[in-house]
Amino acid sequence: MKTTVGAGTRVGRAGIPRRRLLDGGVALGALVLGARGASAQNLPHNHDHMSGTLGLVPRPANPAMGQALVEPEARRSANGELRTTLRAAYAYRDIGGFRLYVRSYEGGSPGPTLRMKPGEVLRIRFTNDLPPNRDLMPMDISNPHQFSNTNFHFHGAHTSPSGISDNVMRSMRPGQVYDIEIELPKDHPGGTYWYHPHHHGSADIQMASGMVGAIIVEGDFDDVPEITNARERTLVLAEMVFDQRGMVENFEMLFSETATRFFSVNGQRRPTITMRPGEVQRWRLLGAGYQNDMFLELEKHDLHVIAYDGVQLGGVESLKNLLMAPGQRADVLVQAGAPGTYEFRGLPYDQGYPSPTGPVARLVVAGEPMAMKLPTALPKPPLETIRDAEITGKRTLTFSATWPEAEAAGHWSEFSFLIDGKKFDPNRIDQRVKLGAVEEWTINNTHFHDHIFHIHTNPFQVTQVNGKPASNLPWRDTVVVPRNGSLVFRSRFLDYTGIYMLHCHMMNHEEMGMMQTVEVYKD
């Protein structure tokens, strides 16, 4: 028997409390994988006398935490284009004292950071070197399947969703090579964006493995010296999840909200960021987690937000805590305080179940002071507020879920995540919008979990949350829809026709059906 979600409390698998399961999972993983790999003192026999021909080559032990932050390789545009390659394949990955064997871009996780400018073209020769699929297509497409099929999504870009552009309906099969060509308009907002797979059936597994990367569209604050003089850092924030073999192969492991072991930044566990007293840095924060919110705090420091989801703010927003949902980005300025060591960490947060907590990074402030300042004003934002008189239509969508009566013992296949009472069907058009329309949408959430609304191609302006006016009317492309609550936004459907997606960016939920197609058409 299934019950439609209205209110309740989520528990971990088999009823085990989340904290105990997390702690136990890490401890078990440490026993199985070893804190620094299989060192000699942990082996049952001494193999020192054995020949290296058996493959027993010792690996150097790297510190599990505390290493200097390493940013991903940057690939930059030239002569109006960013022409590059991207390869999806398995690779070994050492992080936090564990050796993993997971899917990756270019052998790393995250993949390279792509840097380009408005009006330029991104051209990628994409190679899928993942192994052949071992399963057939299921009757229900919203059962996770065929984990080696993939594609490429430029998350947040205002660009064509058709052809070989940002088309998430493409299927890139293992052993094949594909061309991707995405052209940004000349007036595209500069800011922090990202890329990840979006093939329904496999996207969740692949993103949880670390198949993610940042895209920087340059030029957003070129006229603000307090920002251009600040050192820039790209921080790709992720949730580390893996099984006892150091792999991500089983959807049952991902579906439980207790799956996260620890946070990572740029593929490192609790790395060290260094600053001098008074120094200002720009941190491009990218929430690349596959499932959970991060409620962030930098000990004894404010986070001065200058942009959300790639769209510049009209003024600096100074926060003690910053909520980052999966898929969201925030550009923040950090001004270092007195010499010392400070924790950048995830605090407890209730998204209908407890979000994971723990260290994200460590800030070390030392050295000679720097006389730097925060900006007192920002340029006019690139997107105009949508006025009442512009609205040409309204519509309402409802996010909901069903779950087995004995939830704690239920298998993931007994759950459903729905929009307007339906699972995703790629052959069905759910929303038809005329090109040039300016619409107001209400998203209702009848589930006792928060959900994360994301729509491709066109950003939107949030006007209400739970019936109350949204402060500062932020522009987003990804936003939290509160549990048993609602969200109202407005959006202009300009420039591009075609079919694209709206969905929950808690990727477990998208994979299990919480997605719809949107068709923008022209008469």
pLDDT (tens digit per residue) in 252-282? 888 877 789 999 999 999 999 999 999 999 9
Q: Please, which residues bridge with residue 395 across strands?
A: 441
Q: Say which residues have a Cβ less than 8 Å from residue 181's Cβ, sequence separation at least 6.
A: 121, 122, 123, 124, 163, 164, 165
pLDDT for position 59:
60
Q: Say which residues have a Cβ less than 8 Å from residue 511's Cβ, sequence separation at least 6.
A: 142, 144, 200, 201, 203, 204, 251
SS3 string, 466-509, reads: CCEECCCCCEECEEEECCCEEEEEEEECCCCCEEEEEEECCHHH
Topology of domain 226-245+262-365, per CATH?
Immunoglobulin-like (2.60.40)
Q: What is the pLDDT of residues 113-122, one digit of tens each?
A: 999 999 999 9
Q: What is the DSSP code string of 244-264? A: TTS----HHHHHSTT---EEE
Mean pLDDT lowest for which of 7-11, 207-211, 376-380? 7-11
pLDDT for position 63:
77
Which position has the higher pLDDT, 61 or 351?
351
In contact, 466 and 482? CB cutoff 8 Å = yes
Q: What is the pLDDT of residues 414-458, one digit of tens each?
A: 888 999 999 999 999 999 999 999 999 999 999 999 999 999 999
CATH assignment of 74-225, among 3.40.50.1820, 2.60.40.420, 3.30.450.40, 2.60.120.10: 2.60.40.420
Q: For the residues 15-22, what does the mean pLDDT come to?
A: 36
Q: Say which residues have a Cβ less than 8 Å from residue 77's Cβ, sequence separation at least 6.
A: 115, 116, 117, 120, 122
Global pTM reads 0.88
Whether the predicted pLDDT of 39 surpasses 50: no
Whether the predicted pLDDT of 488 surpasses 60: yes
In contact, 149 and 197? CB cutoff 8 Å = no
Work out the percent of the chain whose per-residue pLDDT is above 90.
81
Query: How many angstroms separate the Cα of 420 from the Cα of each of 348, 399, 513?
Result: 31, 6, 11
Confidence of residue 35 (pLDDT cuts 50, 70, 90): very low
pLDDT for position 12:
37
Copy the structure tokens of residue 374. Answer: 């925060």
Topology of domain 388-521, per CATH?
Immunoglobulin-like (2.60.40)
Q: Say which residues have a Cβ less than 8 Å from residue 359's Cβ, sequence separation at least 6.
A: 65, 262, 263, 270, 343, 344, 345, 346
Q: Where are the domains of the chain?
A: 74-225, 226-245+262-365, 388-521
H-run or E-run covering 24: helix 18-33
Q: Establish whether domains 74-225 and 388-521 are of one fold.
A: yes
pLDDT for position 62:
66
